[in-house]
Every structure is written in structure tokens, then in C-alpha cells.
Structure 1
């Protein structure tokens, strides 16, 4: 067992060195290390039982049968240890991690955000900004912007090794975020504590150019506890966070903040017409007048424009449109398909 443990320590040192270089132990090496650990425990139990018997007075000494059985167990352990020692000659102990470079996200057309998309692209391609913050009220289009940027801008970048998109939300946990990142990087989490996982993530991410998109943050994240290296100046790696709360950006090392405003009238009216459908343009003057009034009451908020527009797509009479305006004034949740806040 002493010889086997010495070999185990040598293999573990080689694995640790490989992991620091962004690699991961092969399945064969992991299995071998587990077998050695189990055998070590079993051998310790046999030796402990033997030492206990040596301390017994002569009148309580174990009989011949018990001694034989213990000796038989020791022989089995010896044979297994010899076999494991022979199997411990590995040609290689670790492989390069296999990561999914890019994942397309479900997206919707964005209106009036062209300039913002190009500004975000300039931040990511520039060298002076490591962490970018996007903030704005609920429904203003932060997620739609990130999805569009992920699908159409980042996929064409040849300098980025991996893009990871995570919807954090209110009920997030550090373990869940670590697991999502680890799965994308091809890292195994078996028998690792959160601190150990953070160390592995940090070692892997510092060896590559990554873009991490963290959507819908409600409070600051501790990058150090997660194992996410904060990109330094001149780094091609970037972190982009989106939140409703500007203070979250200020407390997360954000070096550039982009605020998403509600849409001005022309793009808002364009988005609303698109969701209602072509029949709106052929409708009567009364319906078009009611439609414009309804769109104005959405205040340029993309989510409201989309939801109300879709709700009105099947309405073809002026009476229905006028009623919708009244509903939006008195009980907007009925038109938007939501529950009232007082419930």
C-alpha cells in the first residue's frame, strides 16, 4: 500500500499540473484514483483490526478461523494493490477540455437599437473596457438586445474561444452559475466543493478569451467566489451584465454603462403596427386613430407595445379598439394578460 500510495501521489501531482494548464484528468485516471482511495480505506480497516488483536490478552486472542479469514482479506487486498500498481502506468493523465464555443439564443426582432448594438460591439472589441453594464426598466428590451448581440455579433468573432450566456434572475445560486459555466467548458464537478470549483474555473478561464453574458441581475455577483477572472485592460475577454438597477452595475466593477431608454414615437409605432398586422394599415380612420392612441399609452416600452399589439391583432372594429383604450386605462393587466399587482 505504501508503494501504491506513492504512485498515487505522483499521478495526482501530474493531474494538478495539467489542471493548472486548463486540462482535465482522463476518465481512466479518475477511475484509478477512486479505486486506490477505496483500497486504502479497506487496507486501513484490516490493519486496524490486526493491531487491535495484538493488544488483546492471551485469553481473549482470536481463534484460528478468525485469524485465517483476516489473513485471507489481507491477501486479497495485496493482490488488488499489485494490480492497481501495474495499471497506474499512464501514457497521459489529462486531456484538453472540450467546450461548446457558442450557443444560439431564442431572439425576437429589435427595433430602434441599432446604435446601441454597435456601441456594445465596440466595447467588446475594444481593449479598455473589461466589464460592461446594461441597465433599464423592466420590459425595455435588455434581454432582446443581449440575445441579438449573442446571435449576430459574437458568433462572427474569431478571437473569442467561448461565449457563455446565463439568465441569472432573482432566485439565483452561485452553485447553479458555476455548473452552467463548467458544463459549457467541459469541466467535471464530481466530488468538488464550491471553492475547488471556483479554482478550476479560474484556471481554465484565464487560459482563454471568453465573453460572459449575465442577464437579469438583481444584486451584485462576487466574481472571485464564482471563479470568474475579471478581465484586465487589453484583455479580449469581456463580461456583460444586464439589470434593472443601475446600482448593481456600480457595485460590479463595471467600466462602461449603457442605458436602454424607451422607444421614441416613430420606432414605437412601427413595432406596434408590426405586431398588430398588415390589416391595421387598411383599417378605417377611426381604428387607426384608436391604434395610435393605444400605442402612445404604451409609453415606448417594447414589451407593452408587443403585448398590446398582439392582443389587438384579431380586433377589426372601431368599437373593440375603443374598448381596449378604456381597459388599458382602468385595468391594464386584463389587456396585457397579467395578474393585477394587488392580488
Structure 2
């Protein structure tokens, strides 16, 4: 993401302008003293501009990210930031290459050798160009990149898609990623398999990221064949009753050849009647994932008949008033993972190839700090652990990810 690029470049410029580096540069390149002062001044102005851009991105609502004009502007920011990173590496290599001791030797080890050496004059000229490019990008943003109204349709569609993507990730989690759910899974399986012939409503509740969808999906895959028909549909904050009913019907008939052929053309009344007729004689299992309001369930429940066949409905929700709709004694409240289980899951995802998923000692403090930001949420731990698994196992890389993580959690 552009924000990570900006943080990296800002950090590198700070290193380049550090007192020790500037002092050694002055002694080694005294004949370029004026050019060095100009170059360091330009780098200082660039870093201030980058900080402002970073702060602007930090404040922007994530829904603005779906705007095509904004994305084009952001891509240009990335290109300029990468160009500045190259110039900082060139500058630091020039500063440190003649002295492999002291401050510059330390700095040089953390930088990559440039593909081709540029003179300080060339570096200075290119940094001035970058300075102009950033000023131009700032003007472009004021002129062409509007802040999108919160009610903008494309923003709303983006948030819906994002919610669906996260739900799909949750549904695809492996059994090994479901940590600390044994008791709740046992209760859920027991309620689904009970001899009670009355149709019962089960609710799974808790804040986002606790694994409600993952747990429901895990049990659904194992238990659905015990029912005559089954369906899984996502509701989300904005839903169309007709679309949801169509999706339920499609799911119910997915593995049969006898389904209605004109589902797409049915109006709301036809959809309701078709669903009632089919479910009337069936023992069914239906999952309504991510229900936000009691009204949303009431809209749909009129079509979900109670037929004395032992059918089951499962709702996942963040809302207490929705969870309260459950049949008596059939609410599962998920809680964040305790520290020990959260650590086990984090290490399992971050260090899958290490013996017993052991965390290297030099990464332990940073790993604990990263994990603390996940707040015990399994989905966050799995996502971040999977990211760390494919990154370099170095203190520098872990620190960079840790520094950026607060922004990511806030906006995603």
C-alpha cells in the first residue's frame, strides 16, 4: 500500500539526514559542501511533504479508496515515493562507501546497493525534480480528487464487497485456524443434532473478527448432510429481500435437477410462495450470515416455515437485539482468544516451518507487540500471521510491519 511505501521512505530520509551521516558526508565530500547543503535541504522538504501526504491518507475514510480518480493519484504518489527511495539509497551509498566504520557502516548495511552509481550532482538534480513532482501532485489532489460523500453509491458498493470478501475468507479457514472454539462447536453440533422436532433458531454473536462465520461454516460443512436440504446466504447491512430469497432458493436446489427454471423472473410474492412450498415438507438447515437488524430477519422469516421436521436456522450477528431472537437457551456468545491461545495461533501462522512453531527470540518482543494489536481476534491473527509468514524474519521487517499495523487495523 502507498502508506507503507511512504513510511519506509520517510524513515530512510530520516536516517540519511541523521547527524552522524551528515557529518561524515561533510568531511568526505568537502568540495561538494554547497551541493550537499542544497541536497539535504531538498530531502528535508521532500520528507515534510511525504509526511503531510501520509497524514492525509491516514485520515481518509477507506470508502474513498474506490474512487478511480483517487486511485490514479495514489498510484502516482507510489511512483514518486519509489523514486525517492532510490535516490536515498544512492545518496547513502555515496556517503558510506569510502568508510566502512562507525555510523555510516551501520547505515550502509541496512541499505541495498544501487544498480548504478550516480554523482551527487545527479542525485541533487533528481531530488529537486521529485520535490517539484510532489508539489504538483498536491495541487492535482486539490483540483481533481474530490472527497467522496459518505452516501456515494460506489463507496457503498465497495464496503459491501469488502464485507463479502472478509466473509469468504472466514468461510475458507482451515480447522487448524479455529482455536479455542471446541466448547462452542460442541454446543452448536449438539443443538443441530438434537431430537427436538420444533424449528429452532440459533444465534452466534460477538464483535467482528471473532470467527462467528468461520465457526458456523465449519459446523455447516460437517452437519449439513444430516438435513434434507440446506442453504447458506450472506445478508450484510444493505440487502435486497428479493435477492436474498433468490439466493436461498438457488442454494436449496443447487444439487438437484428439479429446481424452478424462472427464478430470475420471479417477483417477491412468487419467491416467497416457492420457498414456502419447498420447505413445507423438508427438514432444512439455513444459515443467515451477518444479520444486522431484527427487521432483516423478520423480512425473511415469513418465508421460512416451521414444519415440525426438526429444521434449524443459524444467524451470525454483531448485534445484541438480533442475537436475542434466538430460541430459548440457543445463543452462543464468542469472546476474544485468551493470551495463550492467541499466541499459539499467531506462532502457528507466522512460523509454520519452525519446530513446534517456535518464535525466534530476537522477534519475540515485536511479535508480542504485533499480537497485542490483534485484540484476541482470530481473523486478525490469522491474516497478520499469514502475512508475516511470507516476509523476511528480520527485526527490521517486523518493526516496519508493526509500525504500520495500527493504520491497517483502523482502516480495514
Instruction: Give the match for residue 118 of structure 1.
Output: 186
Higher helix fraction (1 or 2): 2
Instruction: Give the match for residue 49 of structure 1.
Output: none
Instruction: Give the match for residue 303 of structure 2.
Output: 228
Cα contact 2:199–2:310 (8 A) shared by 1: no
Instruction: Give the match for residue 327 of structure 1.
Output: 404
For structure 2, the residue ranges without an aligned partner over 5 or more in a row are 1-170, 254-258
The separation in 1 between residues aligned to 2:263 and 2:383, in whole angstroms, is: 41
TM-score, length-scaled by structure 1? 0.59
1:70-149 aligned at under 5 Å gives the runs: 106-109=172-175, 110-126=178-194, 127=196, 130-149=200-219
The separation in 2 between residues aligned to 1:225 and 1:116, in whole angstroms, is: 26
For structure 1, the residue ranges without an aligned partner over 5 or more in a row are 1-104
Instruction: Give the match for residue 300 of structure 1.
Output: 376
2:230 aligned to 163, 181, 192, which one?
Answer: 163
TM-score, length-scaled by structure 2? 0.50
The answer to whether structure 1 residue 276 and structure 2 residue 343 are counterparts is no
256-265 or 276-285, larger mean C-alpha shift: 276-285
The answer to whether structure 1 residue 286 and structure 2 residue 367 are counterparts is no
Work out which of the two has the higher radius of gyration on C-alpha atoms and give 1 or 2: 1
Q: How far off is 1:180 after superposition?
A: 1.4
Q: How far off is 1:275 after superposition?
A: 1.4
Q: How far off is 1:142 after superposition?
A: 1.0
Q: How far off is 1:332 after superposition?
A: 3.1
> Over the residues paired in the alignment, what is the CA RMSD in angstroms?
2.6
- Structure 1 residues 265, 174: closer, same or farther in 2, change over 3 A? same
Cα contact 2:280–2:305 (8 A) shared by 1: no
Q: How far off is 1:284 after superposition?
A: 3.8
Instruction: Give the match for residue 249 of structure 2.
Output: 182
The answer to whether structure 1 residue 241 and structure 2 residue 315 are counterparts is yes
The separation in 2 between residues aligned to 1:304 and 1:224, in whole angstroms, is: 32
- Structure 1 residues 322, 161: closer, same or farther in 2, change over 3 A? same
Cα contact 1:133–1:257 (8 A) shared by 2: yes
Query: Which SS does the other structure have where 1:217 is aligned?
Result: coil
Per-residue displacement from partner, 1:193-249 (whole Å, max 9, x unpaired)? Answer: 3123212211220111000101011122355666533536x6410110001111112
Per-residue displacement from partner, 1:76-111 (whole Å, max 9, x unpaired)? Answer: xxxxxxxxxxxxxxxxxxxxxxxxxxxxx6343311
The separation in 2 between residues aligned to 1:189 and 1:332, in whole angstroms, is: 44
- Structure 1 residues 261, 301: closer, same or farther in 2, change over 3 A? same
- Identify the structure with bigger relative contact order (alpha carbons < 8 Å, sequence gap 6+): 1
The answer to whether structure 1 residue 172 and structure 2 residue 239 are counterparts is yes
The separation in 1 between residues aligned to 2:271 and 2:379, in whole angstroms, is: 38
Aligned length, in residue pairs: 226
Query: Which SS does the other structure have where 2:272 is aligned?
Result: helix
Instruction: Give the match for residue 385 of structure 2.
Output: 309
The separation in 1 between residues aligned to 2:266 and 2:248, in whole angstroms, is: 15
Instruction: Give the match for residue 150 of structure 1.
Output: 220
- Structure 1 residues 298, 142: closer, same or farther in 2, change over 3 A? same
